[in-house]
Structure 1
């Protein structure tokens, strides 16, 4: 299997919107109301919104391709792009999405290792992320990768208030 990871550009907005919507739906459809999920995806993964995110100077996207097909992506934020007020020495992994058909191939780990490399090369002292507390598989993955629970924040799926765990790894 041929795999590669490349930095995304503005011309990838539509691809990222589709990949994000697909992987979010695959991961979170179960346990969420369909209308809330549909509304969230329509807002969060709209091509115009992705273009704005791609244009932010403190956000970076990386697309993982397997056998020439987009299998997942990574979004990293520093500075003002972070979704929570973060230290200047912190990097956020806002999204690490892998299509369900490509899971269990080490792609999530490859994207996370890229995030660690970017954080270290940029002189960051910590890397953090938010993960839905009910996504036990992801929580365990991050714990195995050296992250520890350091807090929580509310995440709204429509009117449904959910809890995202804040997990941090010190570099």
Structure 2
């Protein structure tokens, strides 16, 4: 498994990101217009901007034959969300904004699970950028993701509340000191 930092290509990420994002939050898509939301956040334009930004890193997990199986998006800037700012007081910090791996590449039976490799790379990227803490938001109903993040050293620090297309959501804020 290879992890690419700041890849030159974002079209493949876009396609894989949509599929993986849809699977990652599948429990929610029956309630909200999930595919519309996923399409709005995983367009080529968004990824081109993230790749070009000095404040963000896009990391791509690829198999040995070059097939994209997942990605993560890490932002290195202070949060403007008041709920996050109230609990993420150590600076500088980085936000793990997106973390998706295709379902058939999850950890089951793998010696080097892509999700763990991708998470370690995202944490190392934050550390290399000088961050002392990484934070993320995870839906309170997504128990599987919460288990993974806990396994990777994250702890619950608070809750952030936001409007997602008319639905009030409450995500746990998880943090990990570096």
Which residue of structure 1 lines up, in the alignment, with residue 119 of structure 2? 112
> TM-score, normalised on structure 2?
0.83
- Summarize the Cα distance change of 1:31–1:41 in structure 2 as closer, same or farther, 3 Å threshold: closer
C-alpha contact 1:36 1:157 (8 A) present in aligned 2 = no
- Could you tell me how far 1:51 is from its partner in structure 2? 1.5
Deviation of the 1:8 alpha carbon: 3.2
Which of 8, 23, 30 is matched with 2:20 structurally? 23
Residue 25 of structure 1: SS of its match in structure 2?
helix
Structure 1, unpaired ranges of 5+: none
2:100 match: 97
Q: TM-score w.r.t. structure 1 length?
A: 0.86
Gaps of 5+ in 2: none
Alignment partner of 1:79: what SS? coil
d(CA) in 2 for partners of 1:71, 1:107:
8
What is the Cα-based RMSD across aligned positions, in Å?
Answer: 2.0
Contact 1:74/1:96 (8 A) holds in 2: yes
Report the counterpart of residue 47 of structure 2 in structure 1: 50
- Equivalent residue pairs, number: 167
